[in-house]
Amino acid sequence: MSKEKESSAPEWVSNLRRLMDEQGLNPRKLSLLAGLNATAVRDMIEGRSRFPRYDTVQALADVLNTTPAMLMSNEKTCADIQGKGEAFGQNIELLSEIIARLQETAAEMGRELAPREFAAMSATIYRRIQESSVATTRKTKINAIKPQIHDLLEYETLRHKHGK
């Protein structure tokens, strides 16, 4: 790969490459194992796909035995997450999932959220899920996200229609 292409790739790509090397995977094989187009990982490595969708990152992370937060982080952030323990990493995962789903759902509903509104909704959903599912699995927490997002977005839409 040329230096120009290498420098145009996002910072997290070096983490992706390291994980692939550790597991003896080439871009095509990783793409196929993750259920993606055969060139998906190559496109990421070469900088053509700089910010993949969350479900794509989740599929890659599953194959690489890591988490989306760890995969998309740079080396320093990965070390920080690992140093803070498993619970911290799980909280980052949950928050990352909430943010990704909120973006997707708002777009599906044709709703543009101001940064402050987006942050408040993300924090509200995170807090609700953490409070209501102390002893549940990651999958249960993830499944609880979408209904929470719909409820909040519908409420905010009604609130905006009826004069704040």
- Integer Cα distance of 123 and 108 in angstroms: 20
Do 132 and 125 contact (CB within 8 A), yes or no?
A: no
Residues 20-31 have a mean pLDDT of: 95
- Contacts of residue 47, Cβ cutoff 8 Å, sequence gap at least 6: 5, 8, 9, 10, 13
Domains and CATH numbers, the chain: 3-76 (1.10.260.40), 85-161 (no CATH)
Q: How confident is the model at residue 138 (pLDDT cuts 50, 70, 90)?
A: low
Residues 43-68 have a mean pLDDT of: 86
- Integer Cα distance of 32 and 60 in angstroms: 10
Phi, psi of 141 (to 5 degrees): -65, -45
Name the residue with higher pLDDT: 82 or 113.
Answer: 113
pTM: 0.56
Summarize pLDDT for 106-134 with one digit per residue, the tens: 888 888 888 999 999 999 988 888 877 55
pLDDT at residue 139 tops 80: no
Name the residue with higher pLDDT: 152 or 6.
Answer: 152
Q: How far apart are the first and last CA of the chain?
A: 54
Residue 160: which of 110, 125, 122 has the closest Cα?
110
- Contacts of residue 1, Cβ cutoff 8 Å, sequence gap at least 6: 45, 46
Residues 131-145 have a mean pLDDT of: 68
Q: What is the pLDDT of residue 35?
A: 95
